[in-house]
Structure 1
């Protein structure tokens, strides 16, 4: 049928890895492509925050992304080639490449770490009170997953990329992180990989159940994440720099979706999300404040 679009496969199940002796720390999983302009800042920020390791899946970068990561992270980096588009042979459906990377990382590397966080190059994990990611989560004991809602930052009035980086120059975000009706609410999850049995980009199943906790230690199901009463960023906040400057927004639209989505639909959706993010903004200095605490 002309114009027929097959929905991609976006959920994968697997047997979780065994815990390795002495496992510790929080490792970050990143799938990345052509982010040389900003990836060094991203890597230095998370190294300062105490990330134990970064597993970076390079989706065909042709710029200096790999070199920037290596310079910032040294032996805390594992870089894997991940330039592919896999199709299920029976159904003809694309298997979401980002979900594949996350599943591979959790299954193969997750047993070495207490926590793993699968995030993007435009997402920063910010400890709100503590001086490290580990310390920000230490009060949670044996809890296996922590939901982090997006805190979406817009263009902040920048037409071109400003000098001084992202964290210092983007300090206004959408006032309501749970503005789901506007289409720009989502979540990432910090997990104990040894208890994960399935995942999507924005959801994780623990022991076969769609459950998660907030950073106060309160439990809910996946649907309950959007309940304002469950919302928390008391200890750890996920800053999502959705657009950065107008020039970078235009480039993001031109790159297209990471799935096989028609270009005009993708562009309209991104512009609509930006308008919603910028409709009502508040100042948020948690990123600069963290860097100031770290000296």
Structure 2
């Protein structure tokens, strides 16, 4: 973070506007309100200074500093316009690491914004994502039609945001074991590190798990105590993961990009948030039934 001033006093919305303008950013009180609504800032605090009234609400020094730093990050971005939602992972990253800057209420609202926007992309990006997934799992004998069918199910799931998990799992298992279409038994293939291979059923289960979690986050139905418990577990898991990720990357083959260290703070923030969301699924009790369903699908194909 930058060294703007040694002491950061609390400030009103008007003070924050002036802070942004000092950076050359066009700002208004509405901009500050928008930051609060999406979770980039915590709501300002009530101040009662007289018997019959109160002064304007103020943002604590940590929040004022956060607002300034987020606007500095905007200036570093190559984008001409930086949507508020793209900065949410940075706020959640701070919350995952530290208890003193981002409040739990603020994090809950930021997670709502994150969940409402995750997976939203253009059609060209959806096509690219689907093609990469298929390329990772497709056996050389998989036909063009089998590959196209798998890509279509993935794209439709992202577009509608209501994937048909059974159809996606079946299509991916078909390209991984294309002789299934001739009535021959499936050979389950795994990719990634030898000590932690990833199968098509595992991938689909992870997608389904994240979809369920984001549904709850988008509705703000997860209370703050649960979020805090998940954060503590995530911190432990994240430290353990850092100790093994380099080794996993060296043995992951076509999936090595999943374990690569981040190139910048924004990428690091996105990785942290994804890790936290996965842990939250376990805290909410969603992980086991989701993977049980995936296992049942896999067994049904082998009958």
* TM-score under structure 1 length normalisation: 0.27
Larger-Rg structure: 2
**Structure number with higher strand proportion:** 1
Q: Give me the TM-score of the superposition, normalised by structure 2.
A: 0.26
